[in-house]
Structure 1
Amino acid sequence: MDKFSGQKRAASHLFPPIDPFDQRMLDVGDGHNIYVEQCGNPRGAPVVVLHGGPGGGCSPAMRRYFDPELWRVVLFDQRGCGRSRPHASTRANTTWHLVSDIEKIRATLGIDRWAVFGGSWGATLGLIYAETHPDQVAYLALRGVFLSMQRELDWFYGGGAGQFWPDQWARFVNLVPDDERDDLIAAYNRRLFSGDLMVETRFARAWAAWENALASMESDGHGGESPADYARAFARLENHYFANKGFLEEDGQILRDVHRIAHIPGTIVQGRYDMICPPLSASTLAAKWSAGRLHMVRSAGHALSEPGISQELVRVMKGVVEKRLKYGL
């Protein structure tokens, strides 16, 4: 079955496409203006959607995981990507800037508490935001957990995943000279920020292609080539964050501070065969998070668009909104 068949099956679990009732550019300081939209019911239960990457941007499909009659869905493009400006910029762009931006969006929209929905890097950011502002988070729905730990970066950029996908790994590695292959994040960083647009674009596409190839089980290593503008923002921002260890104080900080969200209910939806964010992180988080529940989806990889992942996330969010008063939404 090709990836398009899989995407159609995933879409069959989602709500129909909807348009935003509100779109705006929000000045968050430091020369950054971020794109924010709202969909669904203006008086519904509020939820903020955190996209992956860093640098991925939000998409119309992300609106469709929520019943539009019952949810007030807030989506935004994080600094430097999507429709936010300046594009592909890493200036004043750290995890803590993004946490501050989420709070500014919440305050600007007049929301007291909301659910947080995020996958991959969006799960990372959601956890850090919740640990920083636990009183503002009513529920956490996380997919494909990434804890921004060195072992996770070593897995994906140090050859672990490459043992399963040697052909794709070779294409990713072979762009770099032999004497730089001991640290591919640093090697790519030098080229993604070289100042030569052609070089930056070439290496950005290679960076994005390596991740796209492993995102879905049904792609079978053929993720396709990303458009140049998207790839450049995605690769530069992702590399910038990974080169700086997620701007965290120490390795394992999210797990260190998980006691701060012990009272916040949530669900982790994890693909059993996730090659980008292996299930160890989701399992470790669930063991330490007393109010969190882990659902392992068999025959599923990393992507939000995996049919089993989509089906389970829609089911989870239906359950949350049905009990919105219990969760204080």
Structure 2
Amino acid sequence: MEELYPATPVRADGLLEVGDGHRLYCQEAGNPDGKPVVVLHGGPGSGISAAARQHFDPAVYRIVLFDQRGAGRSTPSAGDPASDLATNTLWHLVSDLELLRERLRIQRWQCFGGSWGSTLALAYAQAHPDRVTELVLRGVFTVRRCELDWLYRGGAAHLFPAEWDAFVAPLDERQRVDPIEGYAELLHSPDRAVAERAAIAWSTWEGATVALLPQPAFVDQYSKPSFALPFARLAVHYFRNGAWLEEGQLIRDAGRLAGIPGVLVQGRYDAVCPPITAYQLHHAWPGSVLRLVEGAGHAVGDPGILAALREATDGFR
């Protein structure tokens, strides 16, 4: 797609020890002496994608990507039922980012993240504002209860009734009172088949709602057990704990971002992370710009999203 830069090869990669038995898979691409940017993937649990390197001019940017704890090629995988998630929290990920920055001898960098990646970018930037040059965020998500209620407790069911029925199908009547807690039970079942069926149902729900128009490729990707198990286990782990944030914290503390330029790219018809969150963050964050993209949903490939992201990264280069 013309909105993306040509495929950018990985220039260096490896594993970073971050403690607690975790090793993060990391990549670098682009200009080793260029403007640093770190890409924060969604989920939590979706992992690095090769296309994420293509949002940046490789002649100008030093592009850093990594799989967050439990995701992608990082170890141990959250898809392993024996994996202990106690040391996998938002604040562990914020600390991991600082460790990675120091390891790469980067003084300050741009943070680029979509969906859950926007959550991590905001938490990191509010904790370490002196280390962030700019923020580029897509499909803004701050893990407030109203946002979780919308997607996982029946709000979006009004738009996707058949898909909602499939989402709650693995849950019994008691578990349907709070599907997040109900899925927590199923995903930690000692019966691997039960956990796998639950993971696929959880993950497929997001795959079915992510794009403005139906995209079978998303459903196919999200329904693969190798993707669904870490994706679902991490998402439920984070969301049932409110991502270890105080309610509304990331918008409440947006004043800490004063002086950091930011662009919020938001689909008008985003059914996963509705525009109200980006709108409220924009009004709480001095210096931010809201790009509301008409005719787009949550998916990065929806019409207009890629162009808005490239405009942002080119503008900051």
Q: Tell me the TM-score range normalised by the shorter chain.
A: over 0.9
Residue 91 of structure 1, CA deviation:
3.4
SS in 1 for 2:266: strand
Match of 1:224 in 2: 219
2:206 to 195, 211, 230: 211
The answer as to whether partners of 1:191 and 1:200 remain within 8 angstroms in 2 is yes
- 2:78 is aligned with 1:85: no
RMSD over equivalenced CA pairs, Å = 1.1
Match of 1:47 in 2: 37
Separation of aligned partners in 1, 2:140 and 2:177: 26
Match of 1:235 in 2: 232
- 1:117-156 correspondence runs (5 A): 117-156=112-151
1:246 to 243, 257, 264: 243
The percentage of counterpart residues that share the same residue type is: 48
Show structure 1 runs of 5+ residues with no match. 1-10, 322-329
Separation of aligned partners in 2, 1:136 and 1:117: 14
2:66 to 36, 61, 76: 76
Aligned-partner residue type, residue 25 of structure 1: L
Residue 196 of structure 1, CA deviation:
2.2
2:105 to 102, 110, 113: 110
Separation of aligned partners in 1, 2:302 and 2:192: 34
Separation of aligned partners in 2, 1:32 and 1:68: 30
2:46 to 43, 47, 56: 56
Separation of aligned partners in 2, 1:44 and 1:195: 48
2:303 to 300, 307, 310: 307
- Cα deviations by residue, 1:210-262 (Å, 9 ceiling, x for unpaired): 001011112268842332121100000011000111111x2001112111111
SS in 2 for 1:73: strand
**Residues 1:221 and 1:21: Cα distance change in structure 2 (over 3 Å):** closer
The answer as to whether partners of 1:34 and 1:79 remain within 8 angstroms in 2 is yes
Show structure 2 runs of 5+ residues with no match. none
- Cα deviations by residue, 1:68-120 (Å, 9 ceiling, x for unpaired): 00000000000001000001142300000000000011000000000000010
The answer as to whether partners of 1:269 and 1:309 remain within 8 angstroms in 2 is yes
Separation of aligned partners in 2, 1:117 and 1:65: 10
Aligned-partner residue type, residue 152 of structure 2: Y
The answer as to whether partners of 1:26 and 1:35 remain within 8 angstroms in 2 is yes
Aligned-partner residue type, residue 244 of structure 1: N
Aligned-partner residue type, residue 149 of structure 2: D
Q: If the length of structure 2 is used for normalisation, what is the TM-score? A: 0.96
How many pairs align?
Answer: 310
SS in 1 for 2:177: coil
Q: Tell me which moved more, 223-232 or 286-295.
A: 223-232
SS in 2 for 1:130: helix
Q: Tell me which moved more, 192-201 or 266-275.
A: 192-201
1:190 to 178, 181, 185: 185
Residue 307 of structure 1, CA deviation:
3.3
- 1:285-304 correspondence runs (5 A): 285-304=281-300
Separation of aligned partners in 2, 1:179 and 1:32: 35
Residue 174 of structure 1, CA deviation:
2.0
The answer as to whether partners of 1:142 and 1:268 remain within 8 angstroms in 2 is yes
Residue 178 of structure 1, CA deviation:
1.5
The answer as to whether partners of 2:30 and 2:60 remain within 8 angstroms in 1 is yes
The answer as to whether partners of 2:252 and 2:284 remain within 8 angstroms in 1 is no
Match of 1:181 in 2: 176
SS in 2 for 1:85: coil
Aligned-partner residue type, residue 137 of structure 1: V
Aligned-partner residue type, residue 115 of structure 1: Q
Higher RCO (Cα < 8 Å, 6 or more apart): 1
